[in-house]
Chain A
Amino acid sequence: MDGSYSIVARGVSKHFRIAETGRGVTGAVRTLLSTKGRVIRAVEDVSFAIETGTFVGYLGPNGAGKSTTVKMLSGILHPTAGEIEVLGASPQRQRAQVAQRIGVVFGQRTQLWWDLPVADSYELIAAMYGVPHDLAQQRLRRFDEVLGIGEFLDVQVRRLSLGQRMRADLAGALLHGPEVLFLDEPTIGLDVLAKAAIRDFLREVNAGGVTVLLTTHDMDDVEQLCGRIIVINHGRLAFDGTVPELRQRVGVPTQMEVDFVMPVSQALPELNCGTVTVQDGSRVTVSFDRARTSAARIIAALGDLGEIKDVTISEPDIDEIVRRMYAG
């Protein structure tokens, strides 16, 4: 076992057998006795190793198996096949031991006590994880500086806004100083300010040495935070690498818009090297692959069409990249 890997998955699969569950006692008895049912392969033979201190984005379309994987890593589900090691231990066989050293945040559900003030939840968490009072206070002060949780410490969790609740949950998950943090869509439904605050906080947490695995649909999360991304689709691993590597692999073209002073009347030049040209009045749009030709050469070729007023170049949106990845 290599100590430099915080999370290791080897050939992990999760299959669900779905049967028709009837209501009431007779329905339940029927369910218990039936052996029929179809098998859903939510996760199939997934393997990866995440080094300590990395910030990994775990992407995939809905139903791809993201949540199922994270649930197996955090000990919620038992894999049908394969081995999982988190911080050197099995989240299934040593659930409590692993739980002591990890933090989990679910974007759509809170783990705090619904009817109690936020501070009470923190007190309970600190007591149960064995965090000394002074250390807990010190951490909470820091959380207040970065996340601003102080403003709602005495408010009941059920009365918090989504943004406040998310911040409260984050603080709650980190109060015991976990070494690994699992985040399931933490910025979902939040406004721009709240997202920025949470990203800043996560960046700081990761800089402090915490390994972070983030499940998200928000590509800004990915671009701003993740040094590595893993893409899962239909239960299988589709990609494992960096953002630039993903760009290169999927090959979504760069887009250039050239605005001319006068509408272009001449025929468009044939640009080889895999480019496409489209004309729209006085604007010509060119899609090209940076690896195969340069912007300068394209502009030079278009210069014959007339006087160029303006040029805009846009890099492919990671949304687009991932969309193609999912569709493929």
Chain B
Amino acid sequence: MKRRPADYWRLFGFLLRSGLRERMQYKANFLITTIFRVLSVLIDFVLLAVILARFRVIDGWDLAEVAVLYGLVSVSRGLFDLLARELEQFEKYLVSGDYDGILVRPWPTVFGLLARKVDVTRLGMLLQGFAIGGSGAVLLVRRGSLAWPALAYLAVLPLCGAAILVAVAMGTAALGFWLVRIDEFYVFTMYAPMTAAVYPISIYPGWLRGLLHTVVPMAFAGYVPVNYLLGKGGNGWSLLAPLPVAVLALWLAHRLWLWGERHYHSTGT
């Protein structure tokens, strides 16, 4: 049967509402989890701010500018955690054999995997990312480093960032079809790059910069376009690059996924 993209989004919406309803039942747990999540993001940023207070600027980037990078990565990550976290949890589906249940459904397996869980508690990180990034951006506009229209661009850029994260996670997860034990890989393919992308990439050695522009193209989630917007370098292409990079990354990751699926072993009896 022909399914339209709208069908998939509607189902995500249903899962979101359903998950929220379910979470709210455990009010104390929901409250505590949310508070801790908020705190952890705040502490994360405070540490960043402390570093910057000490060093004033990092390679010419000050706190407000780094805050924008931080916000972009946070929102990208929040979107990813909200909708696609199961890609990062793929090992447990392989070990338990639960992936079988996803293969017998008449919809694309990646969607089937993602639809297993929509983590509503990640909305917090999204909002915080907007708050921090937004504050930094507004400050920069007032200062004259950014034009107002740039805010509109920055608000949608995380969609590319999230797409890049989905691609990277999907590629890493696909390795699981051959290797099964892949949990540790995510540290290299996701956590490290996400942390690195918060700072201006110019501070890193050449090989790391190269990785962040190619294999794990998180540079395009924030640094590349923002670098140009702040007049520090790059050109008009820097603004356009994130989209094709995200699309290409997704396409490649998906091809790897489909190839790996043929090799799926499942578990024993």
Contacts and interface: CB of A to CB of B under 8 A. Distances in A.
Interface of A: 16, 21, 23-25, 27-28, 31-32, 62-63, 66-68, 71, 74-78, 95-97, 99-100, 102, 104, 106, 109-111, 113, 115-117, 120, 123-124, 127-130, 156
B191 interface: no
A25 B19 CA distance: 35
A71 B266 contact: yes
Contacts of B215: none
A16 B267 CA distance: 11
Interface in B172-226: 175, 178-182, 184-185, 188
Given A109-B96, A115-B19, A116-B18, A102 B104 contact: yes
Interface in B63-108: 96-98, 100-101, 103-108
Contacts of A28: 175, 179, 181-182, 185
A94 to B, nearest CB: 10
10 cross-chain pairs, A with B, having the tightest CB-CB distances, nearest first: A99-B106, A100-B106, A111-B101, A104-B104, A96-B106, A76-B103, A67-B269, A76-B100, A120-B18, A28-B179
B149 interface: no
Contacts of A106: 100-101
A63 to B, nearest CB: 7
Contacts of B106: 96-97, 99-100, 128-129
B236 interface: no
Nearest to A176: B106
Contacts of A63: 268-269
Contacts, number: 96
Given A16-B265, A116-B19, A156-B22, A21 B14 contact: no
28 contacts: A21-B179, A24-B181, A24-B184, A25-B188, A28-B181, A31-B179, A32-B179, A67-B268, A71-B100, A75-B104, A76-B266, A77-B265, A95-B103, A96-B107, A99-B106, A100-B1, A109-B98, A110-B101, A113-B116, A115-B22, A115-B117, A116-B22, A120-B18, A124-B15, A127-B10, A127-B11, A128-B7, A128-B107
Contacts of A66: 269
A27 B265 CA distance: 19
B72 to A, nearest CB: 29
Contacts of B18: 116, 120
Contacts of B104: 74-76, 99, 102, 104, 111
Contacts of B117: 115
Nearest to B107: A128
Given A23-B181, A28-B179, A100-B1, A124 B11 contact: yes
Contacts of B116: 113
Given A96-B107, A109-B96, A130-B1, A25 B185 contact: yes
A45 B72 CA distance: 56
B105 A128 contact: yes
Contacts of B182: 28
B191 to A, nearest CB: 14
A101 to B, nearest CB: 8
Contact of B178 (A32, A62, A76): A32
Contacts of B232: none
B61 interface: no
Given A25-B184, A28-B179, 7 more contacts: A21-B179, A23-B181, A31-B179, A76-B264, A76-B266, A96-B106, A106-B100
